């Protein structure tokens, strides 16, 4: 429950503080957010399957975000940033859908 409250507090802070995204982070933040969402849904699925582990979640969360950011950074350096961003988004999107579908099956049996 406490992590959920943390999520809500983060959202409220982000909306309330009206911080603008630093220019250097601008290309990476959306990717990082999507990667974190993927980790979050993976955690949700693991919870429902009874195999959730704090350590795994934290590691997967951080590594997901770092890896996605790194790939996009690399792509930007290579001049294919836009394409790699799309690739990462597609892969993460597929994973998110898969995890969400698994959770749906687990929770609703359908």
Which residues bind to another protein, rule: CB under 8 A?
1-15, 17-21, 26-27, 29-30, 32-33, 36-37, 40, 47-50, 52-55, 57-58, 61-62, 79, 82, 102, 106-109
Give min distance, CB of 68 to another protein, in A.
12
Nearer to another protein by C-beta: 57 or 71?
Answer: 57
| Contacts (Cβ under 8 Å, ≥6 apart) of 39 | 57, 60, 61, 64, 65
| Contacts (Cβ under 8 Å, ≥6 apart) of 22 | none
Is residue 70 exposed (0-12), middle (13-18) or buried (19+ Cβ within 10 Å)?
middle
Give min distance, CB of 67 to another protein, in A.
15
Nearer to another protein by C-beta: 69 or 91?
Answer: 69
Nearer to another protein by C-beta: 91 or 107?
Answer: 107
Give min distance, CB of 101 to another protein, in A.
12
Torsion of CA 72, 60, 11, 16, to 10 degrees: -60
């Amino acid at each position: 429950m406490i992590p959920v409250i943390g999520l809500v507090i983060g959202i409220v802070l982000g909306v309330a503080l009206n911080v603008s995204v630093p220019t250097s982070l601008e290309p990476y933040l959306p990717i990082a957010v999507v990667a974190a969402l993927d980790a979050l849904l993976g955690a949700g699925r693991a919870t429902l399957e009874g195999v959730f582990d704090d350590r795994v979640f934290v590691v997967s969360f951080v590594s997901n975000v770092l890896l996605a950011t790194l790939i996009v950074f690399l792509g930007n350096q290579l001049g294919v940033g836009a394409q790699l961003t799309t690739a990462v988004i597609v892969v993460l999107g597929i994973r998110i859908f898969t995890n969400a579908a698994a959770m749906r099956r687990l929770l609703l049996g359908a």
